């Protein structure tokens, strides 16, 4: 899409969408949303950037191949399951811990690690498909 208005507003729109995707990812632990929806929003942001600036610029902005993000997400989601085995409970059993940081209690859990993995899988996969469809050369 070769529109001056679209090319001008796209980077701002992408930044807002990426921040919103992280908000949805972190909010999804206790409310609707989570890794899948956050990943879809992030992939949509990169797709918009690719439409405005071109596929080559979007690939450069990613810094790595989109499928590398998906592979990282699969490894992270698998790690969430393996951690439960290390604590002698069934695979993918949720584990929680918390610590105090600067006077505030910070909670960590394996479901959150799994959700972050799903976020990267969805982001990488959908971005790879969208950029391949946008690319006139047909390569991923």
CA distance 28 to 130: 25
What is the per-residue pLDDT across 24-34, written as a single tens digit (0 to 9) for each?
998 886 677 78
Calculate mean pLDDT across residues 93-110: 88
User: Is there a contact between 11 and 48 (Cβ–Cβ < 8 Å)?
Assistant: no
Q: Which residue has the tokens 């610590």?
A: 99
78's tokens: 């698998």
pTM as predicted: 0.87
Calculate mean pLDDT across residues 43-55: 94
């Amino acid at each position: 899409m070769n529109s001056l208005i679209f090319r001008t507003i796209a980077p701002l729109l992408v930044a807002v969408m990426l921040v919103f995707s992280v908000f949805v990812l972190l909010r999804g632990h206790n409310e609707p949303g989570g890794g899948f929806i956050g990943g879809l929003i992030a992939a949509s942001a990169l797709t918009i950037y690719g439409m405005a600036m071109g596929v080559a610029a979007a690939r450069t902005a990613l810094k790595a191949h989109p499928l590398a993000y998906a592979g990282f997400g699969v490894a992270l989601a698998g790690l969430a399951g393996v951690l439960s085995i290390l604590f002698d409970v069934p695979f993918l059993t949720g584990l929680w811990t918390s610590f105090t940081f600067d006077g505030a209690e910070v909670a960590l859990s394996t479901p959150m690690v799994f959700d972050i993995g799903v976020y990267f899988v969805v982001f990488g996969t959908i971005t790879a498909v969208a950029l391949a469809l946008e690319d006139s050369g047909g390569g991923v």
